[in-house]
Structure 1
Amino acid sequence: MKRIAPLPSSLIKRYHGWRATQFEENKAWYARLADKGQTPRTMVISCCDSRVHVTSVFGAETGEFFIHRNIANLVPPFAPNEDYHGTSAAIEYAVTALGVTNIIIMGHSLCGGVKGCHDMCSGKAPELEEASSFVGRWMDILRPGYKRVAEAGGEDSEQISALEREGVMVSLENLLTFPFVADRVEAEDLALHGVWIDIRDGHMEHYEPASNKFVAIK
């Protein structure tokens, strides 16, 4: 394949650094993971945004989290058909094969995907309405959340911030449309969680069912 390039030398240098330090210092653990297989208890669905580093935020070790990332940390509704379903496949594998006991949806501030959804739904990004826009069609998942924040009113910046949290809620709602998720939640051996983090100051909120609000983690 003539148009495929070799790995950049800067990344090769970083790889050698990792291999000589972190890997070497934890060689036995990596070998155990290879021989015994992975047994993560938690799945995290987070955004592709490079500023959101899930394992660092929670201090997770290699093999501890099963992580899936996509634009705006969204979960689509359960819809088995002939389309490609990367997020749905990851959820199915985590729940039915790995048997995770927690799924965390992790939203964040200054999310480009969420802002794109707001722009699209408010008529400011017609290019995302095109049938050929992969981002636009993916952000259709968040339209119910946009309708809720639009009805509440407020400045665009306030709506976008609210929509970041609504994205978490829409994803939690959609998770429960997956029968194998709903069954395990009903059996109380799988718990769903929603969090939002401010990438500027590290402030985190989690969804509290009792108040039906996102509240600061203290």
Structure 2
Amino acid sequence: MTVTARPLPAYLVSRFNGWRATSYQDNKAWYRRLAESGQHPRAMVISCCDSRVHVTSIFGADEGEFFIHRNIANLVPPHNPDGERHGTSAAVEYAVTSLGVAHIIVLGHSGCGGVKGCHDMCSGHSPQLEEKTSFVGRWLDILKPGYERVATLPQDQILRALEKQAVLVSLENLMTFPFVMDAVADDRLTLHGLWNNIGEGELEQYDPARGGFVAI
């Protein structure tokens, strides 16, 4: 099988060399310690692939602090051992059973293209996503229960409500994994739902006691 690849673009090579000459050189001992001792992150963050969502910047995190998994619309599928592909499920399992993270944070955001795709698909405006061959469409099927909850809202409120449903559906699905449920019951793990307003630099968290998202 032929592997198709080309050299890295020059601007990325330049940035790497700049990082190695500055940040890495200034913290060489720390990087070597990380390499030798392995990773011991305190939290797992499940966020969207969206290039505007920069998890480590938002929380000022250092290397080794977060175990980060990104996918379209920050979704977690329900526990399904009989499924064919388990990228997100495998990441959750590894974080909980091998790394022993204390927190799982699901981070949604404003202007999410994946969430809009689910909205368009469910409302009949994106037939290409309904095709069985659409990887994106079949992934966004996870969010259909969330769409059903908000479909009757005024049109100008649906997308934002659905962005937050993406967080809630994921939190609900996390609790279908036996190892997550056990860790939560034993107080070894806590789950958190966040929504980031990119343009305003705001962060909201889900508060079960209030039944909604509140500003942090």
TM-score range, shorter chain: over 0.9
Q: For residues 118-137 of structure 1, what are the structure 2 equivalents within 5 Å?
A: 118-137=119-138
Query: Which residue identity is paired with 1:124?
Result: H
- Structure 2 counterpart SS, 1:167: helix
Q: Distance in 1 between matches of 2:23 and 2:182?
A: 40
Determine whether 1:160 maps to 2:159: yes
Q: Distance in 1 between matches of 2:52 and 2:18?
A: 22
Structure 2 portions without partners, runs of 5+: none
Paired position in structure 2 for 1:75? 76
Q: Which range moved further: 80-89 or 103-112?
A: 80-89
Paired position in structure 1 for 2:95? 94
* Number of equivalences: 215
Q: For residues 22-171 of structure 1, what are the structure 2 equivalents within 5 Å?
A: 22-81=23-82, 83-151=84-152, 153-155=153-155, 157-171=156-170
Q: TM-score, normalising length from structure 1?
A: 0.97
Query: Which residue identity is paired with 2:30?
Result: W
Q: For residues 165-184 of structure 1, what are the structure 2 equivalents within 5 Å?
A: 165-184=164-183
- Residue 83 (structure 1) shift: 0.9
- Residue 141 (structure 1) shift: 0.1
Structure 1 portions without partners, runs of 5+: none
Q: Distance in 2 between matches of 1:25 and 1:93?
A: 31
Matched residues, percent identical? 64
- Residue 3 (structure 1) shift: 3.3
Q: Distance in 2 between matches of 1:21 and 1:2?
A: 33
Query: Which residue identity is paired with 2:183?
Result: R
Q: TM-score, normalising length from structure 2?
A: 0.98
Q: Distance in 2 between matches of 1:3 and 1:68?
A: 26
Query: Which residue identity is paired with 1:174?
Result: N
Paired position in structure 1 for 2:205? 206
Paired position in structure 2 for 1:6? 7
